[in-house]
Amino acid sequence: MKYTYYPGCSLHSTSWEYDASTRAVFRRLGIELEELDDWSCCGATSAHATDDFLGKALPLRNLILAEEKGQDIMLPCAACYNTLRTADRFMRSGSQQARELNLELARVMGREYQGTVETRHILDVLQDKTVQSLLKSRVVRPLTGLKVAAYYGCLLNRPPEIVSFDVPEQPVVMDRLLETIGAEPVQWSYKTECCGGSSSIPQPEVAVRLNTRIVLDALRSGAQAIVTACPLCHVNLDTRQEGAIGQVPELGAGMPIFHITELLGIALGTPEEEVRQWFARHLVDPGRLFSESTQVA
């Protein structure tokens, strides 16, 4: 089994640990990831908010490169996934604008987009029956007793006609993955609420308010940590708690925020040294949740 791997900008910068843990998980599952040669920014947020042509051309360029590989493309970032899926749907519309864009990209790249590859988020790949079977058979360190809130955010399931591979309002894929590795997902109300990532720079007070609501609801639902499948949500939830810690006594030292692949990687037996490198990138220390029996704390 092999996938073309598009890490996106965040996984090569602020969310290095998401990239590292993703590679570790797939390596332990025996699934090959081939990073897309010469990939470029998909333009999420900045491009589509300012320039319609760039907003479509940037993800389309990556889709054309992926077609040359001839296999499905997998993305860990919800924003990248949403952007590439939106571009694919636009190109399949057959509109005059889509045809003109395809011709322009063909002039530059020497190849038109044919729509022959599937764009899949990492959660979609991990829910595949074959992958699920591999995962179940290779868990060596079940995370029994760890109560977690699975946080999906805005972009994985909206708009459902373009991106959703799960139930849009009550997604369950990540919850089931967590159950597979022995963790206990809690029932809570904010799993698809916006974390305010796009407001982080222009209106940080909005991001802090939204993040605090999410974290407090997870805490009050019995969760010891929040688990994400989006690097932008992870960064926002991990960094913006600083504005609430000290002002909201319930938060204590803060709520640890995990990438889903970090917990999967631990359950699959990733060496302690690698896991410590991932955790060193977090602002709210996640290591305190693990006992000596997990060889992480």
127-156 as b/e: b if 16+ CB within 10 A: beeebeebbeeebebebeebbbbbbbbbbb
Claim to verify: residue 101 and residue 208 sit in the same structural domain? no
CA angle 195, 200, 205 (to 5 degrees): 85
Claim to verify: residue 110 and residue 161 sit in the same structural domain? no
For residue 199, give every residue at least 6 positions away whose Cβ sits within 8 Å of its Cβ, in sequence order, or none. 206, 207, 210
Cα–Cα dist 296/247, whole Å: 30
Helix or strand or coil: residue 122? helix
CB atoms within 10 A of CB 202: 8
The boundaries of the domain holding residue 93 are 2-122
Claim to verify: residue 27 and residue 91 sit in the same structural domain? yes
Tokens representing 158 are 């909206």
Domain count, the chain: 2
**pTM more than 0.85:** yes
Question: In tens digits, what is the pLDDT along the chain, a chain of 297 residues?
Answer: 999 999 999 999 999 999 999 999 999 999 999 999 999 999 987 787 788 999 999 999 999 999 999 999 999 999 999 999 999 999 999 999 999 999 999 999 999 999 999 999 999 999 999 999 999 999 999 999 999 999 999 999 999 999 989 998 899 999 999 999 999 999 999 999 999 887 777 788 888 889 999 999 999 999 999 999 999 999 999 998 876 766 778 888 889 999 999 999 999 999 999 999 999 999 999 998 985 444 444
Q: Which is nearest to 236 in space by CA: 246, 247, 228?
A: 228
Claim to verify: residue 142 and residue 56 sit in the same structural domain? no
Cα–Cα dist 290/63, whole Å: 40
Sign of CA pseudo-dihedral 246, 251, 252, 256:
negative
What CATH number is associated with residue 255? 3.40.50.11810
Tokens representing 89 are 């749907």
